[in-house]
Structure 1
Amino acid sequence: MEHGRSFTAVLDVSAREERWRVRLPYGSEEMHIFNGRPAANLVRSIAFLISIHLFEWWETKDRERQLAKLGERLE
């Protein structure tokens, strides 16, 4: 396990005529994606995790201040 290591997935999102840059932080559990040649099922599960977090952010960004801070609206 990679203790103390983390990464941030930075995504540019275009939806409903809006553009956003969203930063989703991840910790040591997800760091295994960077260990050489990760298994295909690991890549799929982390991609799925990111898509779930992005969906949650989109649906709650107008109500949850902490989550809203993860995104910045682009012009």
Structure 2
Amino acid sequence: MALATCITPGTAPAIPRQIGAHPPTRSRSHSEPLDALAELLGYVKGWARHHRMADVVQAMDDAHALLRAGRIQSAGVHHG
């Protein structure tokens, strides 16, 4: 995945607050962990777009698509 080649553990710069809403915190509750993941992907995508990192933006789009597909498949298994 392109993200792994761009950001190595411990070297990623902080996401500036002026880009968007405040980053998620542990005190914020989510109805599901997937909601928290989707929100985090959105923050990373915003940060990457701000820094013109097209490969990271694409990786976040791909991750969102996988997350949506997993939710649809999961809903079909549980309700179908």
TM-score w.r.t. structure 1 length?
A: 0.45
TM-score w.r.t. structure 2 length?
A: 0.42
Which protein is richer in helix relative to its size?
Answer: 2
